[in-house]
Structure 1
């Protein structure tokens, strides 16, 4: 049975960008229909950000107990040999996902957004068909927002299936593998690789470039590399994965040699690409460039009345970018004047230790001639000591001419929680003197931000 409906706004994709756009539009009195096929919350909530952080937390708890059982906990805590019921871990993770997804559904309902479960396939720019459990529904809209998300990139020699998995399958395993090979030493591969190593899995990492986390400078990544070494993770840099068969990952090394890595399972994490297939984008006549939907600074596509947001428009593929774009687009549709031009978008690696990057690095800011830099190590931070987490630092980058903060980077335990303060400083146009003049709570990790600013001014108090 086929039915039809007409709406002012159609949002395709229920991930962070799509559901935020729909909720904000509903709040603004815009009649809205949201079409989603992968579960409300999208990749981030269902198969990425949230479930991975649950696994990382469980792994960290297990690692602490393992250290206590081995008698090497510095605080003197002792424990019997710990065990993990991984099926219960996955069930706990799934419970968190279900609660959050249910919360999104409730928020959409509160905003009077109608939700359809299925894939939207367009026949023209403003009309799509959705195959739902109740039958086919044709939706016509005045305005469309495409928030179709992204999917993992598949290597030709390592097609997904069987023992070769993406991060999606890694977060839904029924049992832990004994030996795991991770292909790709970016943030997804290392976040999950470290977590599995903490759970007792023998982990190997294969990376084509000559260092881990290639997008970040070595001062930020060195503490993570030391953690990998401490956990016994085998690093194979400047190497290329060729294929997997009979429990062995074949690898070509830098000198064109052959290396066979025992691996019950291979986790391929070489990147993500915009999810554009199967929606009828050709019929919509929107421009696609370099594998992403081309948009302007208001997220407008080449087709009038069609917007695109989030991973579908390319890097950075971050949930918080998608959310910001979704809110903005809803307000533009409601007649408000908005454009997407953030001073900084934070990036966080939930490795051990964590890494936060906001704004410009010292090199991007022009080097010593144009930038002044202050760094404060967590070795001098009392709260870090009480957490037994003294590895890492906070680094502040400011313009030399006027001391305006243009970048902040940090590596250390729980530094993800400092990201908001870093973004605030840059977005508000703070100078080093502003950060240095603020009263920061003691004892907290945030004091390192204060001390880094003081250091850039030449008078750090605790360094």
Structure 2
């Protein structure tokens, strides 16, 4: 936003990549685009001091890619959020608040006090508005006497950057760490007619499938409107869809939604829109 308004921007990130929760191949197009626009992107770096001076705020850095001290007009600090369970007086009503400040709930959003429910960021990760909305509706239904419980198989995440990054289910990083056998199918937007027509072909759509059952395990995409595309893959995972189910579903052409379809065809070995060598 600030870059689009004409500000000169530098980003300092303590982790080894931007948006640590997403796979690195999804981050790469964003990083590449921002490198051309920003003054600097410093990963594996932290700010050790901010000193107010007459000419601005002097920042001192430490880390693998730390630059020399710099002076800025403004500094935006975004290092996460802290739950306020301990400060809202929940304990006065007998509600349990854990050591981190979260309020534990069950699958019906009940706290340890049966007639008190909690939803949203205060009940834990992921701290996302769409999760909170779902929890709020669920809690209202439970209070109204309906038999409901939180049973979502996945919750999508979207980084509203330019290009956008979206992912859901199992990430490739998580699958490797957990020793889960999977097959990856990635479709480059450089082969998408819609992406080429809009001159934004730097994106990619990636699907992860279980190696034996071919069921969808996770998905990730980077590119304009990636956040609009992720919902299809969430539904596919919720329904237990496999690569064939997605690959045999007719998608409108030319659209970015086709990239999900094409990735599934790559997994199936049936794609005709992109040359893919046969697997040995």
Give the structure-1-normalised TM-score.
0.56
2:266 to 451, 455, 460: 455
- Aligned pair in 2 of structure 1 residues 437, 461: CA closer, same or farther (>3 Å)? same
Q: Is the 8 A contact 2:157 2:168 kept in 1?
A: yes
- Aligned pair in 2 of structure 1 residues 386, 265: CA closer, same or farther (>3 Å)? same
The answer to whether the aligner puts 1:414 opposite 2:199 as a matched pair is: no
**Paired residue for 2:151?**
341
Q: Is the 8 A contact 1:374 1:457 kept in 2?
A: no
Q: Give the 5 Å matches for 1:42-441.
A: 195-241=1-47, 242-246=49-53, 247-254=56-63, 259-276=68-85, 278-289=87-98, 290-365=100-175, 370-441=181-252
**Aligned-residue offset at 1:257:** 7.1
Distance 1:271 1:423 in 2: 26
- Aligned pair in 2 of structure 1 residues 233, 462: CA closer, same or farther (>3 Å)? farther
Q: Is the 8 A contact 1:454 1:460 kept in 2?
A: yes
> SS in structure 1 opposite 2:221?
strand
Q: Is the 8 A contact 1:365 1:397 kept in 2?
A: no
Distance 2:67 2:269 in 1: 52
The one-character-per-residue Cα deviations of 1:370-408 (angstroms, maximum 9, x if unpaired) are 211111010000000111110111111111111111211
**Aligned-residue offset at 1:256:** 10
**Aligned-residue offset at 1:278:** 4.4
- Aligned pair in 2 of structure 1 residues 344, 257: CA closer, same or farther (>3 Å)? closer
Name the Cα RMSD after superposition. Answer: 1.9
Tell me which protein shows more helix as a share of its residues. Answer: 1
Distance 1:359 1:256 in 2: 32
Whose RCO is larger (CA < 8 A, sep 6+)? 1
- Aligned pair in 2 of structure 1 residues 429, 300: CA closer, same or farther (>3 Å)? same
Q: Is the 8 A contact 2:23 2:172 kept in 1?
A: no
- Structure 2: gaps spanning 5 or more residues: 275-280
Q: Is the 8 A contact 2:203 2:221 kept in 1?
A: yes
**Aligned-residue offset at 1:365:** 3.6
**Aligned-residue offset at 1:369:** 6.7
**Paired residue for 2:278?**
none
**Aligned-residue offset at 1:277:** 5.2
- Structure 1: gaps spanning 5 or more residues: 1-194
Q: Quick check: which has more Rg, 1 or 2? A: 1
Number of corresponding residues: 269
- Aligned pair in 2 of structure 1 residues 427, 258: CA closer, same or farther (>3 Å)? closer
> SS in structure 2 opposite 1:306?
coil
Tell me which protein shows more strand as a share of its residues. Answer: 1
